[in-house]
Every structure is written in structure tokens, then in C-alpha cells.
């Protein structure tokens, strides 16, 4: 049974946080899907994952090799058998997706009030459905667990 981890981004942007989390998930042997609602955000993340210090093999959903991708950026379905789903930009996550996988990571911008309210709604919906959840916030460059359900 999986769990949902909420990451409240206040010190480092998604461009810095997402590659670290993907790297940890791949290191655990998990396949990853990154789900977003905004194609422009996914395009930006796609470019970012090809560059930088640590290349992360990945693809955008809709190609002929979606099922083979260790990391798949998608707007909807998880077509690569991912056991770790990362939600960005307020993308929806169901309780069934959390419990079916190893982990769901919900990343949200702490300076965007709409993103914060969306994450609060997701927390209430998921924990209300009996899903285990943890809330992590950045403090002085470190992640600190601030809350845990159940």
C-alpha cells in the first residue's frame, strides 16, 4: 500500500526539486510518471530533465515507446507502469492511484495561493479516503516532516 508525500516548495523551485525526487525514486527501483495539467509546464520540465548536472532518461507521453520509459511526463494516464507518480501543477491524483503504487509525490509552489489551496484539497480528499499521507516543508535547505495522517 502506497503513501502520498506532499512537498511544499518554498526555498527551491520545482526545477531543482523534481530531478532530486526522480533520482531517488529511480534509485529505489521505481518507474516514475510525472503528471501535470499544463502542457507548457511539462515541456519546460522535459527540456530541464535533458540538461543540467544529472541527465535523467525520460520521455513525453504520446510516443511509440511510452511503456519503455523509466520516467514518463504525462497529462493523464500512466502508460509506463510507474509505481511512483509525481503530481505537478495541481494535477489530480486518486486514492486508488496512491494505494496501487509505492508512492505519490505532490509538489506545490508555496508562494502560489491557488497551488496551496489545491494541495490542501488534495490532502483532505486523500486522507479522507484513508490514504496514508505525509506533509514535508523546506526549512533552511532541508526537508522537514510537518504532518502525517493516521
Do 12 and 136 touch, CB atoms closer than 8 A? no
Give 11-48 pLDDT, tens digit per residue: 999 999 999 999 999 999 999 999 999 999 999 998 88
Cα–Cα nearest to 89, from 142, 30, 36: 36
Give 78-127 pLDDT, tens digit per residue: 999 999 999 999 999 999 999 999 999 999 999 999 999 999 999 999 99
How many domains does the structure of the chain reveal?
A: 1
| Predicted local distance difference test score (pLDDT) of residue 52 | 64
CATH of the domain at 83: 3.40.50.10110
Give 59-77 pLDDT, tens digit per residue: 899 989 999 999 999 998 8
**Structural domain of 22:** 3-148
- The 10 Å CB-count burial string (b at 16+, else e) for 37-52 is eeeebbeebeeebeee
Amino acid at each position: 500500500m502506497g503513501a502520498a508525500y506532499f512537498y511544499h516548495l518554498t526555498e527551491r523551485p520545482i526545477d531543482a526539486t523534481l530531478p532530486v525526487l526522480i533520482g531517488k525514486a529511480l534509485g529505489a527501483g521505481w518507474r516514475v510518471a510525472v503528471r501535470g495539467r499544463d502542457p507548457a509546464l511539462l515541456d519546460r520540465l522535459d527540456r530541464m530533465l535533458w540538461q543540467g548536472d544529472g541527465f535523467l532518461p525520460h520521455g513525453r507521453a504520446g510516443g511509440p515507446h511510452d511503456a519503455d520509459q523509466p520516467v514518463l511526463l504525462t497529462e493523464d494516464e500512466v502508460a509506463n507502469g510507474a509505481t511512483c507518480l509525481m503530481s505537478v501543477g495541481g494535477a489530480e491524483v486518486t486514492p486508488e492511484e496512491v494505494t496501487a503504487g509505492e508512492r505519490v509525490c505532490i509538489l506545490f509552489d508555496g508562494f502560489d495561493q491557488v497551488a496551496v489551496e489545491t494541495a490542501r484539497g488534495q490532502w483532505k480528499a486523500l486522507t479522507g479516503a484513508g490514504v496514508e499521507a505525509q506533509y514535508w516543508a523546506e526549512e533552511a535547505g532541508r526537508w522537514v516532516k510537518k504532518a502525517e495522517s493516521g
